[in-house]
């Protein structure tokens, strides 16, 4: 079987047809420059909101990278699982939205514990196998989600019952988009404060910088690693849940989110949470602008282009992959 | 040392045995609905995706096909002979289809084959010619009937017919300047090419063509670009959830243009996901979801009879894939009825003579030159109003 979208449809579609060529048929309207400005505002808003969700996944990547020195390629699947569970509970089981969201986050936190204790800890910090294990876990999570929740898409009801879009600088903004930005922003600030101000946050940073020394100082590196996994998965899960009322969630969205989060993380300098947050936003805006300026089919190439570019850059200017001293 | 060798030997033996047992698994699930009577039964084969990712599509197809065989056998069979249906599961795997076909036409001596559900039909189309067995393919790709293989029939509306209907409607409504937003799958890309050709033929202008990934979360950017080109209507070609997100984005942006979708929208999920934003959307689809609104009583009864029987037996909705399983069997039955004792050439010619068989998907008309069966008259414009599907124009009775 070749890649086909699932779901009950009337149609099947395969055939390796040629990619559609650029169809250049834009008629320059009489709207003039002003209309153009408004459009840019719309692209920026759309990109910024998506960027906030990428930022959360990206920060999730860096937190695990900092404590474990591995990339968790199941990151997007965690986001998918939380969002899908929440949307499924609301749609199929009639659970209230707040409870469903809480359960979604709890589930990914639980999954993170199982994942860390059961799969990664036995590998005793061997990075190569651990990364392969995360890839396998991602595939497994996608499969399990497909079995448990089915191949259908679900949507989470809006978190505030306000249907009317707001117009900001000529750009249409839905209330949920404001929620995404606010919640993501507050969460990211909290994470930064957590790492720089709280004892456990500092302990996490310390145990990464020098595990031996941290151990001497009475910090349990094991516990720290577990905490970082749980924190990372909750951030990622939150990212999925925040956009679930805007877009439909299905079991298939995990890998795309992983790529976006990874691109955000390496754009910000892997291991640097603040950088990853900015990286996410830059990626979101770049995607929206790419969709606007290029034929929209090229949009998803942006994340890959960024990954490739940054990795090549790092290869040529031999900097360590980790930005030291970042959060 | 000796023990080690012995252990390895046993382990290998064990693996071979298990492997052998596993290898046998995909052997045909031979399902005999009724004991054969004095006359030898007609043998029909089907290659369907019962397991694997396409299982949700192939299972209702199998159920409906078995139901059809059960019903015909209860009614005394065809020409006094019972019908035997042999279903082979292709496990949603392209590569398992040819071996299934080989099994059906050689070992099982199937006289006609239905399938595959959605896996690639192209290799077995050649086998149908080689073994002279009519093959009924329930898939929409245009090229299935374009290769000029006289043994291949289609049991579905081909892709281009939906587009013809959409173009026809756009023209009729005076929406001579439209924008197209499609997903970046083969389905959406092929549709875009077809739209370009057909629009040019009838003199419609496409103001913009934009695409999106099936997993995209927001299509505001594409819609904003489209809005700038000021089209009179916006055509959306993709499968759920994409169009549902587009509907929501379009509502938020306050786009006033009418939206016209493809058959990918003919899915209750679209209305569920899009909510209020689905209201006013038009789409091209086959008639059975709005059969209760049809003036054609005979067609209404065919659809009702099938869905009631299916509901009673399986307790679920047959969906469009179930409908295809049923229609495929009816076409083979009609062919056998006409061919009598003949098979091969005779059966193929008999199917070609079918002219006006009312199925669930529409009215099938085959001929020597047309193996598509369903014409553009089987496609309707359907509108979503308050979450319900309304037939927009009543077809002329034939």
The residue among A2, A10, A44, A172 with the most chain B CBs within 10 A of its CB, best to mutate, is A10
Check pLDDT > 50 for residue B272.
yes
> For B103-126, what is the mean pLDDT?
93
Of A246 and B18, more confident = A246
> For B70-99, what is the mean pLDDT?
93
Peptide bond into B241 cis (omega under 30): yes
Please, which pLDDT band fits residue B100 given cuts at 50, 70 and 90? very high
The residue among B122, B137, B139, B224 with the most chain A CBs within 10 A of its CB, best to mutate, is B224
Please, which pLDDT band fits residue A78 given cuts at 50, 70 and 90? very high
For residue A234, the distance in angstroms to the closest alpha carbon of chain B comes to 20
Check pLDDT > 60 for residue A267.
yes
For residue B273, the distance in angstroms to the closest alpha carbon of chain A comes to 6
* Contacts (Cβ under 8 Å, ≥6 apart) of A166: A172, A173, A174, A175, A178
What percent of chain A is modeled with pLDDT above 70?
A: 84
Chain B touched by A199 (CB under 8 Å): no
The residue among B155, B158, B239, B279 with the most chain A CBs within 10 A of its CB, best to mutate, is B239
Contact A76, B251 (CB under 8 A): no
B286 to A1: CB separation less than 8 angstroms, yes or no: no
Looking at residue A7, its pLDDT comes to 38
What percent of chain B is modeled with pLDDT above 70?
A: 89
Looking at residue B288, its pLDDT comes to 86
Contact B265, B246 (CB under 8 A): no
* Element (DSSP H or E) covering residue A33: helix A32-68
Low-confidence winner among A57-71, A273-287, B10-24, B263-277 (lowest mean pLDDT): B10-24
Please, which pLDDT band fits residue A4 given cuts at 50, 70 and 90? very low
Tell me the chain B residues in contact with residue A10 when contact means C-beta distances shorter than 8 Å. Answer: 140, 156-157, 263-264, 266-267, 285-286, 320
Chain B touched by A30 (CB under 8 Å): no
Tell me the chain A residues in contact with residue B276 when contact means C-beta distances shorter than 8 Å. Answer: 163
Chain B touched by A165 (CB under 8 Å): yes
For residue B79, the distance in angstroms to the closest alpha carbon of chain A comes to 33
Check pLDDT > 50 for residue B391.
yes
Chain B touched by A320 (CB under 8 Å): no
Check pLDDT > 60 for residue B270.
yes
Please, which pLDDT band fits residue B187 given cuts at 50, 70 and 90? confident
Question: How many Å separate Cα B209 from the centre of its chain?
Answer: 27
Residues B314-369 have pLDDT tens digits of 998 888 899 999 999 999 999 999 998 888 899 999 999 999 999 999 999 999 99
Please, which pLDDT band fits residue A167 given cuts at 50, 70 and 90? confident
Tell me the chain B residues in contact with residue A142 when contact means C-beta distances shorter than 8 Å. Answer: none
Two tokens at B314? 């399986």
Check pLDDT > 90 for residue B98.
yes
- Helices A273-293, A175-197: inter-axial angle, 10-degree rounding: 150
The residue among B52, B137, B252, B324 with the most chain A CBs within 10 A of its CB, best to mutate, is B252
Looking at residue A147, its pLDDT comes to 87
B245 to A248: CB separation less than 8 angstroms, yes or no: yes
List, as one string, the DSSP characters of B231-292.
-SEEEEE--TTHHHHHHHHHHHHT--S-EEE-GGG-SHHHHHHHGGGGTT-EEEEEGGGGGG
What percent of chain B is modeled with pLDDT above 90?
A: 65
Residues B22-63 have pLDDT tens digits of 444 444 444 445 444 468 899 999 999 998 778 888 999 999
Check pLDDT > 80 for residue B395.
no
Residues B291-302 have pLDDT tens digits of 889 888 899 999
For A238, phi then psi, to 5°, come to: -60, -40
What percent of chain A is modeled with pLDDT above 90?
A: 41
Low-confidence winner among A22-26, A197-201, A220-224, B377-381 (lowest mean pLDDT): A22-26
Nearest residue in chain A measured CA to CA from B220? A46
List, as one string, the DSSP characters of A57-124.
HHHHHHHHHHHHSS--TTHHHHHHHHHHHHHHHHHHH---HHHHHHHHHHHHHHHHHHIIIIIIGGGT
Looking at residue B260, its pLDDT comes to 96
For residue A326, the distance in angstroms to the closest alpha carbon of chain B comes to 31
Is this prediction's ipTM beyond 0.95? no
Tell me the chain A residues in contact with residue B189 when contact means C-beta distances shorter than 8 Å. Answer: 17-20
Check pLDDT > 60 for residue B67.
yes
Pick the most confident of A148-152, A229-233, A292-296. A229-233
For residue A194, the distance in angstroms to the closest alpha carbon of chain B comes to 30
Low-confidence winner among A48-57, B101-110, B260-269 (lowest mean pLDDT): B260-269
Looking at residue B233, its pLDDT comes to 96
Q: What letter does residue B393 receive in the DSSP assignment?
A: S
Please, which pLDDT band fits residue A320 given cuts at 50, 70 and 90? low
Tell me the chain B residues in contact with residue A91 when contact means C-beta distances shorter than 8 Å. Answer: 272
Tell me the residues of chain A between 169 and 188 that have a Cβ less than 8 Å away from chain B: 172, 174
Helix (H, G, I), strand (E, B) or coil at B295: coil
B263 to A10: CB separation less than 8 angstroms, yes or no: yes
Low-confidence winner among B2-6, B214-218, B379-383 (lowest mean pLDDT): B2-6
Please, which pLDDT band fits residue B396 given cuts at 50, 70 and 90? low
B141 to A288: CB separation less than 8 angstroms, yes or no: no
User: Distances in Å between the alpha carbon of A187 and those of A59, A191, A224, A268, A275?
Assistant: 11, 6, 20, 18, 15
Nearest residue in chain A measured CA to CA from B253? A172
For A171, phi then psi, to 5°, come to: -105, 140
Cα distance between residue B98 and residue B114, in whole Å? 13
Check pLDDT > 80 for residue A234.
yes
A49 to B218: CB separation less than 8 angstroms, yes or no: yes
Of B186 and A265, more confident = A265
Q: Please, what is the Cα angle at B23 between B19 and B28, to 5 degrees?
A: 155
Looking at residue A123, its pLDDT comes to 87
> For A292-302, what is the mean pLDDT?
82
B218 to A50: CB separation less than 8 angstroms, yes or no: yes
Q: Which of B92, B141, B211 sits opposite A15 (nearest CB)?
A: B141
Of A164 and A11, more confident = A164
Q: What letter does residue B103 receive in the DSSP assignment?
A: I
Mean pLDDT of chain B: 87
For residue A172, the distance in angstroms to the closest alpha carbon of chain B comes to 6
Check pLDDT > 50 for residue B286.
yes
Please, which pLDDT band fits residue B3 given cuts at 50, 70 and 90? low
Count chain A–chain B contacts defined by CB atoms under 8 A.
201
Residues B122-173 have pLDDT tens digits of 999 999 999 999 999 999 888 899 888 999 999 999 989 999 999 999 999 9
> For B307-313, what is the mean pLDDT?
95
Residues B238-255 have pLDDT tens digits of 988 899 999 999 998 989
Tell me the chain B residues in contact with residue A6 when contact means C-beta distances shorter than 8 Å. Answer: 53-54, 56
The residue among B218, B237, B289 with the most chain A CBs within 10 A of its CB, best to mutate, is B218
Looking at residue A325, its pLDDT comes to 47
């Amino acid at each position: 079987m070749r890649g086909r979208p699932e779901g009950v449809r009337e149609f099947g579609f395969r055939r390796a047809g040629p990619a559609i060529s650029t169809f250049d048929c834009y008629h320059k309207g009489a709207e003039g420059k002003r209309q153009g400005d408004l459009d840019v505002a719309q692209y920026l808003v759309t990109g910024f909101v998506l960027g906030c969700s990428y930022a959360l996944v990206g920060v999730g990547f860096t937190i695990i990278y900092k404590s474990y020195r591995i990339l968790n390629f199941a990151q997007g699947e965690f986001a998918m699982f939380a969002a899908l569970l929440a949307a499924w509970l609301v749609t199929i089981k009639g659970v209230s939205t707040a409870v469903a969201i809480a359960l979604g986050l709890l589930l990914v936190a639980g999954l993170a514990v199982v994942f860390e204790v059961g799969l990664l800890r036995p590998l005793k910090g061997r990075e190569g196998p651990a990364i392969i294990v995360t890839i396998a876990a991602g595939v497994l999570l996608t499969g399990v989600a497909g079995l448990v929740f089915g191949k259908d898409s679900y949507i989470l009801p809006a978190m505030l019952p306000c249907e009317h879009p707001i117009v900001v600088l000529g750009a249409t903004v839905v209330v949920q988009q404001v929620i995404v930005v606010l919640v993501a922003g507050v969460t990211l600030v909290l994470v930064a404060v957590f790492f720089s101000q709280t004892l456990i946050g500092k302990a996490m940073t310390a145990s990464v910088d020098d595990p031996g020394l941290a151990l001497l100082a009475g910090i349990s590196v094991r516990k720290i690693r577990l905490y970082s996994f749980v924190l990372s998965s909750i951030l990622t899960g939150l990212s999925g849940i925040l956009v679930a009322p805007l877009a439909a969630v299905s079991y298939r969205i995990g890998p795309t989110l992983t790529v976006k989060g990874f691109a955000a993380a390496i754009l910000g300098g892997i291991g640097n949470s603040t950088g990853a947050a900015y990286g996410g936003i830059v990626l979101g805006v770049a995607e929206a602008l790419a969709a606007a300026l290029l034929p929209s089919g090229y949009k998803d190439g942006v994340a890959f282009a960024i990954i490739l570019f940054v990795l090549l850059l790092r290869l040529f200017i031999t900097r360590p992959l980790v930005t030291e001293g970042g959060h | 040392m000796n023990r080690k060798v012995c252990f390895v030997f046993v382990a290998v033996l064990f693996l071979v045995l298990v492997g052998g047992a596993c290898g046998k698994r995909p052997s045909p699930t031979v399902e005999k609905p009724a004991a054969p009577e004095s006359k030898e039964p007609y043998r029909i084969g089907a290659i369907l995706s019962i397991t694997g990712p396409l299982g949700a599509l192939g299972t209702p197809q199998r159920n409906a096909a078995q139901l059809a065989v059960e019903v015909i056998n209860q009614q005394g069979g065809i020409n006094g002979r019972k019908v035997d249906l042999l279903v082979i599961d292709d496990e949603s795997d392209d590569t398992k289809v040819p071996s299934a076909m080989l099994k059906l036409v050689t070992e099982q001596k199937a006289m006609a084959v239905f399938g595959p559900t959605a896996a690639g039909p192209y290799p077995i189309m050649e086998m149908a010619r080689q073994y002279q067995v009519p093959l009924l393919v329930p898939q929409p790709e245009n090229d299935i009937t374009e290769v000029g293989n006289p043994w291949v029939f289609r049991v579905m509306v081909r892709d281009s017919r939906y587009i013809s209907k959409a173009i026809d409607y756009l023209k009729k409504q005076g929406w001579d300047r439209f924008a197209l937003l499609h997903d970046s799958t083969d389905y959406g890309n092929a549709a875009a090419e077809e739209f370009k050709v057909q629009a040019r033929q009838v003199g419609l202008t496409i103001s913009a063509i934009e695409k999106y990934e099936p997993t995209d979360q927001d299509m505001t950017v594409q819609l904003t670009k489209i809005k700038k080109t000021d089209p009179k209507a916006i055509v959306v070609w993709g499968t759920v959830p994409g169009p549902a997100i587009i509907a929501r984005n379009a509502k938020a942006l306050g786009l006033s243009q009418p939206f016209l979708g493809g058959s990918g929208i003919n899915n209750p999920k679209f209305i569920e996901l899009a909510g209020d934003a689905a209201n006013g959307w038009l789409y091209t689809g086959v008639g059975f979801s709005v059969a209760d609104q049809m003036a054609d009583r005979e067609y209404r009864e065919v659809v009702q009879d099938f869905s009631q029987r299916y509901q009673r037996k399986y307790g679920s909705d047959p969906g469009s894939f179930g409908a295809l399983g049923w229609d495929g069997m009816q076409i083979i039955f009609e062919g056998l009825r006409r061919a009598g004792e003949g098979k091969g050439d005779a059966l193929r010619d008999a199917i070609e003579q079918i002219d006006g068989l009312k199925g669930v998907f529409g009215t099938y008309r085959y001929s020597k030159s047309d193996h598509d069966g369903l014409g553009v008259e089987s496609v309707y414009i359907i509108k979503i109003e308050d979450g319900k599907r309304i037939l927009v124009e009543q077809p002329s009775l034939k």
